[in-house]
Amino acid sequence: MSNEQRATEAHYPHQPAPDDMMREYGCGPIKFTGSDDALYERHLLFDNVVAPADIGCREQYEAIARAVRDILSQRWLQTEETYGRVNPKRIYYLSMEFLIGRSLSNNIVNLLLEPLAKKFLHEHKVDELAMLAEEPDAGLGNGGLGRLAACFLDSMATMQLPGMGYGLRYEYGIFRQTIVNGWQSEQPDNWLRRPDPWEIERPEEAVTVRFGCSFEVRAGSLHIVEGVPSNLIGIPCDRPVVGYGGKTINTLRLWASAAPDTFDFQAFSAGEFVSALAERLTAETVTRVLYPDDSTSMGQGLRFVQEYFLVACSLADLVRRFRQGNSDWKDLPDKVAIQLNDTHPSLSVAELMRILLDEAGLGWDEAWDITRRSLAYTNHTLLPEALERWPLRWFELMMPRHLEIILEIDRRLGDEVRARWPGDNDRLRRISIVEQGQQPLVRMAHLAIVGSHSTNGVAAIHSRLLRESTVKDLADLFPERFNNKTNGITPRRWLLLANPGLASCITDAIGDRWITDMAELERLKPLAGDRGFVAAVRLAKREAKLRFAHWLKSSSGIVVDTSTIFDSQVKRIHEYKRQLLNGLRIVALYHRLKENPNMDMPPRTFFFSGKAAPAYHVAKLIIKFLNNLAATIDGDPAMRGRLRVVFLPEYCVSLAERLIPASDVSNQISTAGYEASGTSNMKFMMNGALTIGTRDGATIEMAEAAGEENFFLFGLTAEQVAASRGWYNPGWHYDNEPETRAVLDLILSGQFCRYEPEVVDALRNVLLVGGDTYRHLADLTSYMDADLRLQSLYGDQVAWTGKAILNIASSGRFSSDRTITDYANDIWGAKPCPLA
C-alpha cells in the first residue's frame, strides 16, 4: 500500500477500502459526483467528530478542504507514478521562500470544481467568505522572490512539467503587522496552530544532515559548540501543487527539522530528563521562523544553518530519486535541473560536489562537470550590500569538507583568471570566491555563478546591469552563462481567481483559452474602442471596487468611497521603492487643495500596504509618516470627499488578491536601476489598472508591450541616476522648485507630526541632510506632471478604459507560463510529461 493510501485510510478508520474512491476520482478528468456530500460529512464525523448541524466555519473549512484533497489525491499519486515510470528530466526549484497564500479556493478553481463547489456551499448554507477566511495565509516568504516561486510552481504544474519545489516548513512565517500609534508593530505568525489539511508529513522519507559542530540556543541566538559533530533530521512535509485542469499535481516539499531519534540515554539515566529533551528543542529551532529580508539577518548564524539544511535535505532527496531510476552518475545533468532561487541555496554547489566526490567516488573533473551542468542560478538583486557573504570561519566550524571544496574551486578559478589576464591582481581579488579581509568572507553569488551553467536576472534592464556592473568580472570570464528571464505571474490566481468579474468579461469576448495561453489576450486589442466591451470592463472594475469596499468595511470598519480613484502602492516598504515619494505627491495635492479649495481635481483614495523589516528604522519611519498623513487628512474637513489616505495593515497574498482588482492606478516608482523586476506591477496591469511609474525593472518591458502612450512614465532613467552620483544635491530642488519647497516646508513645519519632532528630524535627514540617496526630490516634479496627465485622462472614462484594455491585452507576456517556458527551453532542457 502506498503512503498516500495509508494516509487516506487513516482518516476513515471505519470506511471500506478506498477502491470506491479510486474508481470515482482515480482517472480521467476529475468529476464531482453525487457522493461529495458524503465525503464532506464523513470528514466532519471522523476527523472532527461533530454533527453537520452543530459546526462552525473552521470545521466547515477543514472538512471541505479534506474533501477536495481526497478528490486530488489519486491524481497526485498518479503524477509521481508517471514520473517514476517515464523517467523524464526533472526540475527542482530550491527556494528559502514560497509565499503561497491560501490554497482552498485556488485548488477548487484549478480542479475546475468551482460551479459544483458553489452549488454545494449554497445547499449547505455555508457562508463562503467566512469559511474561506478560516484558512490562514501560508506566508512563507518576504515578498516578490517568495511569491515568484509560488507562481512558478503553478505554471509548471499547469504546463505538465515535472517540477518540484523544495523549501523549509517554517513554524512561523513572515511576521504579522499591526499599526500602533502609526508605527509598525510585529507579532508572530503562528499559521500552523490548527491542523493543516494540505500538509502530508512523510517521516519514512526523512533524511539526516551532518554538521561538524553542535549548536546551542541561548538567549534567542545560536551558539556553536566546536568540535562536537552533530546530526539533524529533515522530515518532508508535502503539499499538492494543482495544475489548471487538475491533470498534473506536482509537489512542494517543505523540510521540518527535528532531532535524531537516538535518544541520549546517558543524560536520561543521570536524571537529566529535561535537558535531554531540551536538545530536541534546539534541533527544531532550525526551521522555526522565516528570516525577514534585512541587513541584520545577514549576520545570523541560524539563517546560515537554515540554508545548509535546505540544501542538504533537498539534494539528498533528489539524488535518492535519481538513483532509483538511473545507474550512471554521468546522466545526472540529463535527468535533473536544479534552479537556485537567489544565492540562498547556493551551498548546493559545494554539497553536490561533496556527494559526487565522496559518496559517488568520482574524480574532480567529472564531478565538476556534472555539478555545473545540473545547477542554474537566478539573481534577484543588484545592490552590492544585499549580496550574501558568509564568514569563512562558519564553514570551517560547521562544514569543513565543504570549505575544502570551495577553496579548491576558488584555486582553480584563480588559475583560469591568471591564465587569461596575467598579472591582473586587482581582477583576481575582485573575482575570487573568498573575500580577504580581517574576517574572510565567502561570496555566495560568485560561488553560484562559477558552479553553475546559467546565471539569469529577472528583467531585461536588471540582467544587463548585472552583467555590466554588479558581477562584471565574472560576466567577462563566462559571458555565455549570462541570460535574462523576465519574471511573470500566474493568471490563474491573479486574474481568474482574484477578479472573477473581469475574467468572465474576457471569456465572454474571446473564449477561455487565455487561461492557459495568455497570448490570446492580444485578441482584446481591437476591442479597446468597442463600446460594449468598454462598458463591460468598466462594470467589472466597479464591481471589484464594491467587493473590496464591502470586504474592507466588514473586516475592519474602514469605509471608502468607490466613486474615487483607487490609487495603490503595495509592496515591501523600502527606501528604494519610494513610498515616501508617493507621500510627497499626496502632500503636494493636499497643498494645492489648501491653496485653492475650488480647484477641479478628481477625488482620490490612496492605498498603501506593506511590511518593513523589523530592524529597518527608516522603513518603519516611512510607515509612521504615511499614517500621520492619513490621520491629518482625515481630520481636515476641507479634504472630505477629495483626498483620503488609507494604510492597510498586514499586507499578504489574500489582501493583494482583493485590492489589486479594485485599483485604478498602480504606483511603480522605484529609483531607476534598483528594482530588479517587480511583480505587483504585472498583477495590476493584468487587472486593468493604469501604471504611473519609473523606467525600472519589468515596468520598462510592460510599457514597451502596451505602448508608452498607455503608460504614465516619469523620472530619471537608471543611467541618469548613476550619472548624478557625483554631484546630486537635493537642496537644489528645494531652492529652485516652488512646489517641492512648499511640500517640504509643510512636512518640516510639523503639520503631519505634531508633538513628534523626532519624526520630522528623521524625515529631514532622509530627504535633505543625508543627501536623498534615492532621489525623491529629483523625481517629484515629473511625478506631479505624470499625475496631472493621469487626472485629466480619468475624466474621460471611455478613453481611460480603452487604455486599461490595451494594458490587459498586452499583459500576456507577463504570465509565468511564458517565463517558465523560457526557463524550460533555455536553461533546463525539460519537456512536459503528461499523465496517461
Q: Taking the complex as a whole, how short is the minimal distance between the CB of residue 231 and ligand 26Q, in angstroms?
A: 24
Tell me which residues in 434-473 interact with ligand 26Q (CB under 6 A). 458
Q: Which residue number, 278 or 383, has a Cβ lying nearer to ligand 26Q?
A: 383
Q: Which listed range, 116-124, 392-400, 602-610, 674-682, lies at the site for ligand 26Q (CB under 6 A)?
A: 674-682
Q: Taking the complex as a whole, how short is the minimal distance between the CB of residue 818 and ligand 26Q, in angstroms?
A: 15
Contact call for residue 585 and ligand 26Q (CB under 6 A):
no
Contact call for residue 148 and ligand 26Q (CB under 6 A):
yes
Phi then psi dihedrals of residue 184, to 5 deg? -70, 140
- Using CB under 6 A, which of 291, 329, 377, 514 touches ligand 26Q? 291
Q: Taking the complex as a whole, how short is the minimal distance between the CB of residue 163 and ligand 26Q, in angstroms?
A: 17
Q: Taking the complex as a whole, how short is the minimal distance between the CB of residue 780 and ligand 26Q, in angstroms?
A: 23
- Using CB under 6 A, which of 108, 496, 521, 676 touches ligand 26Q? 676
Catalytic residue selected from 75, 380, 443, 611:
380
Q: Which listed range, 142-150, 397-405, 477-485, 685-693, lies at the site for ligand 26Q (CB under 6 A)?
A: 142-150
Q: Taking the complex as a whole, how short is the minimal distance between the CB of residue 318 and ligand 26Q, in angstroms?
A: 23
Contacts by residues 40-46 (CB-CB < 8 Å, ≥ 24 positions apart)? 40/64, 40/67, 40/120, 40/124, 42/12, 42/15, 43/11, 43/67, 46/11, 46/12, 46/13, 46/14, 46/15
Catalytic residue selected from 66, 102, 467, 577:
577
Cell numbers given for 313 = 535535505
Catalytic residue selected from 683, 695, 776, 803:
683
Q: Taking the complex as a whole, how short is the minimal distance between the CB of residue 281 and ligand 26Q, in angstroms?
A: 23
- DSSP readout, 734-793? HHH-HHHHHHHHHHHTTTTSTT-HHHHHHHHIIIIIT--TT-HHHHHHHHHHHHHHHHHH
Q: Which residue number, 69 or 493, has a Cβ lying nearer to ligand 26Q?
A: 493
Q: Which residue number, 305 or 830, has a Cβ lying nearer to ligand 26Q?
A: 305
Please check whether residue 312 is in contact with residue 415, taking contact to mean a CB–CB distance below 8 angstroms: no
Please check whether residue 406 is in contact with residue 433, taking contact to mean a CB–CB distance below 8 angstroms: yes
Of 223, 244, 237, 155, the residue nearest 195 (C-alpha): 237
Please return the burial class of 425, using the count of CB atoms within 10 Å of its CB with bins 0-12, 13-18 and 19+: exposed
Cell numbers given for 549 = 469596499
Q: Which residue number, 279 or 575, has a Cβ lying nearer to ligand 26Q?
A: 575
Read off the DSSP letter of residue 143.
Answer: S
Q: Which residue number, 151 or 753, has a Cβ lying nearer to ligand 26Q?
A: 151
Q: Taking the complex as a whole, how short is the minimal distance between the CB of residue 508 and ligand 26Q, in angstroms?
A: 32
Q: Taking the complex as a whole, how short is the minimal distance between the CB of residue 465 and ligand 26Q, in angstroms?
A: 12
Q: Which residue number, 611 or 775, has a Cβ lying nearer to ligand 26Q?
A: 611
Alpha carbon distance 7, 25 (integer Å): 16
Q: Which residues of 165-176 are buried (b: 16+ CB within 10 A; e: fewer)?
A: bbbbbbbbbbbb
Contact call for residue 616 and ligand 26Q (CB under 6 A):
no
Catalytic residue selected from 344, 402, 446, 572:
572
Q: Which residue number, 484 or 801, has a Cβ lying nearer to ligand 26Q?
A: 484
- Using CB under 6 A, which of 105, 107, 306, 677 touches ligand 26Q? 677
Of 343, 352, 373, the residue nearest 443 (C-alpha): 343
Alpha carbon distance 738, 415 (integer Å): 59
* 577 catalytic residue (yes or no): yes
Tell me which residues in 471-510 interact with ligand 26Q (CB under 6 A). 487
Which residues does 403 contact at the CB level (< 8 Å), separation at least 6?
392, 395, 396
- DSSP readout, 155-207? HHHHTT--EEEEEE--SB-SPEEEEETTEEEEE---TTSS--TT-EE-GGG-E
Contact call for residue 678 and ligand 26Q (CB under 6 A):
yes
Alpha carbon distance 567, 580 (integer Å): 15
Q: Which residue number, 140 or 676, has a Cβ lying nearer to ligand 26Q?
A: 676
> What is the Cα Rg of the chain in Å?
27
- Using CB under 6 A, which of 303, 538, 578, 776 touches ligand 26Q? 303
From residue 679 to residue 698, the character string flagging contacts with ligand 26Q as x (rule: CB under 6 A) and all else as - is x-----------------x-
Alpha carbon distance 378, 394 (integer Å): 24
Q: Which listed range, 141-149, 160-168, 363-371, 762-770, lies at the site for ligand 26Q (CB under 6 A)?
A: 141-149
Catalytic residue selected from 248, 632, 679, 740:
679
The pairing of beta strand 375-378 with beta strand 434-435? unpaired
Residue nearest to ligand 26Q (CB): 144
Handedness of CA 646, 651, 655, 660 (dihedral sign): positive
Largest CA distance in the chain: 84
Phi then psi dihedrals of residue 286, to 5 deg? -60, -40
* 572 catalytic residue (yes or no): yes
Contact call for residue 675 and ligand 26Q (CB under 6 A):
yes
Q: Which listed range, 2-10, 408-416, 426-434, 677-685, lies at the site for ligand 26Q (CB under 6 A)?
A: 677-685
Read off the DSSP letter of residue 100.
Answer: E
Q: Which listed range, 289-297, 320-328, 510-518, 824-832, lies at the site for ligand 26Q (CB under 6 A)?
A: 289-297
Contact call for residue 388 and ligand 26Q (CB under 6 A):
yes
- Using CB under 6 A, which of 35, 297, 516, 765 touches ligand 26Q? 297
* 472 catalytic residue (yes or no): no
- Using CB under 6 A, which of 142, 666, 671, 691 touches ligand 26Q? 142
Q: Which residue number, 65 or 312, has a Cβ lying nearer to ligand 26Q?
A: 312
Catalytic residue selected from 571, 733, 803, 813:
571
- Using CB under 6 A, which of 179, 298, 560, 601 touches ligand 26Q? 298
Which residues does 287 contact at the CB level (< 8 Å), separation at least 6?
168, 169, 170, 171, 255, 256, 257, 306, 309
Alpha carbon distance 455, 85 (integer Å): 32
Q: Which listed range, 262-270, 295-303, 330-338, 348-356, lies at the site for ligand 26Q (CB under 6 A)?
A: 295-303
Read off the DSSP letter of residue 289.
Answer: B
Alpha carbon distance 447, 406 (integer Å): 8
Contact call for residue 214 and ligand 26Q (CB under 6 A):
no
Q: Taking the complex as a whole, how short is the minimal distance between the CB of residue 675 and ligand 26Q, in angstroms?
A: 5
Tell me which residues in 24-83 interact with ligand 26Q (CB under 6 A). none
Which residues does 802 contact at the CB level (< 8 Å), separation at least 6?
528, 529, 534
- Using CB under 6 A, which of 70, 171, 196, 293 touches ligand 26Q? 293
- Using CB under 6 A, which of 67, 145, 441, 692 touches ligand 26Q? 145
How many residues sit in the footprint of ligand 26Q (CB under 6 A)? 21
Q: Which residue number, 196 or 342, has a Cβ lying nearer to ligand 26Q?
A: 342
Q: Which residue number, 160 or 346, has a Cβ lying nearer to ligand 26Q?
A: 346
Alpha carbon distance 154, 244 (integer Å): 8
Alpha carbon distance 677, 373 (integer Å): 26
Q: Taking the complex as a whole, how short is the minimal distance between the CB of residue 679 and ligand 26Q, in angstroms?
A: 5
Q: Taking the complex as a whole, how short is the minimal distance between the CB of residue 461 and ligand 26Q, in angstroms?
A: 11
* 781 catalytic residue (yes or no): no
Alpha carbon distance 576, 672 (integer Å): 9
* 679 catalytic residue (yes or no): yes
- Using CB under 6 A, which of 69, 380, 389, 695 touches ligand 26Q? 380
Alpha carbon distance 353, 800 (integer Å): 56
Would you name the residues annotated as active-site residues? Answer: 380, 571-572, 577, 679, 683
Report the interface residues with ligand 26Q, using CB under 6 A. 142-145, 148, 291, 293, 297-298, 303, 380-381, 388, 458, 487, 675-679, 697
